[in-house]
């Protein structure tokens, strides 16, 4: 039982490049989330998926897109990376919104 | 704009003492409240949840909720160096699957 897994762990991009962050959970949770965390700031929700087939914008969706591929997988795509997107990205899942289980995070640096 | 406020710290507490962490929230309609712990370089993990006014105890941890004052706190008794981490307060503003996160309080337990 791996919980929530994320790939890659680290990534360096140049401005304008694109990439997809992958997330998978094996807890059969309905809801999945993508957050970013910047120094001195709390977790900010980028997008979430309350259930398979649905996605909704969070607090900071600009510059990102998501895909809920199936119940297990929820990916985050940066189409044209910008330095302001340098951050740590966490994926989380939950059965209800309360107890969210987090992946190990992806550290992204955009030059 | 619904908000969750925490003192960023760092809060320095001697080993064996009681650490007191505070959180205020703006949404009077919030019904549940969560404390997550995040070690440096790691992902957040849930340590306490509280739904009713008063105290809830779990081992060395006690969560206290005062809905009238819109205030929730976390007490850690007999603080240990392993308690050194950032503590995040999270509140669901309503039933739309989201959590609003405070920026976190960094706790340092001095041996």
Query: Strands of A4-7's sheet, edge to edge?
Result: A4-7, A19-25, A74-78, A64-68
Is B40 an interface residue toward A (CB < 8 Å)? no
Q: Does B1 score more than 80 pLDDT?
A: no
Please state, in angstroms and rounded to a whole number, the distance separating the CA atoms of residues A89 and A66. 13
| Minimum mean pLDDT range among A20-24, A38-42, A83-87, B37-41 | A38-42
CB contact under 8 A, B4 and A42: yes
| Residue entry with tokens 């989380």 | A92
Residues A4-19 as b or e (16 or more Cβ within 10 Å = b): bebeeeebebeeeeeb
Omega of the bond leading into B10 within 30 degrees of 0 (cis): yes
| Share of residues in chain A with pLDDT > 90 (%) | 85
Per-residue pLDDT, B95: 56
- The residue in chain B having the minimum alpha-carbon distance to the alpha carbon of residue A104 is B43
Chain A interface disruption, residue of B4, B39, B44, B96, most A CBs within 10 A:
B44
- The residue in chain A having the minimum alpha-carbon distance to the alpha carbon of residue B47 is A99
Per-residue model confidence as pLDDT tens digits over B59-105: 999 999 998 999 999 999 999 999 999 999 999 876 566 888 999 99
């Amino acid at each position: 039982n791996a919980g929530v897994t994320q790939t890659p762990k680290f990534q360096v991009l140049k401005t304008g490049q694109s990439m997809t962050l992958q997330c998978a959970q094996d807890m059969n949770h309905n809801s999945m989330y993508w957050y970013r965390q910047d120094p001195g700031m709390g977790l900010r929700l980028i997008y979430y998926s309350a259930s398979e087939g649905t996605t909704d914008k969070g607090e900071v969706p600009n510059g990102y897109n998501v895909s809920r591929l199936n119940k297990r997988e929820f990916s985050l795509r940066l189409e044209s990376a910008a330095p302001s997107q340098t951050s740590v990205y966490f994926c989380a899942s939950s059965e209800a919104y309360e107890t969210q289980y987090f992946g190990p995070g992806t550290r992204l640096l955009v030059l | 704009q619904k908000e969750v406020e925490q003192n960023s710290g760092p809060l320095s507490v001697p080993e064996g003492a009681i650490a007191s962490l505070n959180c205020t929230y703006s949404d009077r309609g919030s019904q549940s409240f969560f404390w997550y712990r995040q070690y440096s370089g790691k992902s957040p993990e849930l340590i306490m949840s509280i739904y009713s006014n008063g105290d809830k105890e779990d081992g060395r941890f006690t969560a206290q909720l005062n809905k009238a004052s819109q205030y929730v706190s976390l007490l850690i008794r007999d603080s240990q160096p392993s308690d050194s981490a950032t503590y995040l307060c999270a509140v669901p503003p309503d039933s739309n699957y989201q959590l609003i996160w405070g920026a976190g309080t960094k706790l340092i337990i001095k041996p």
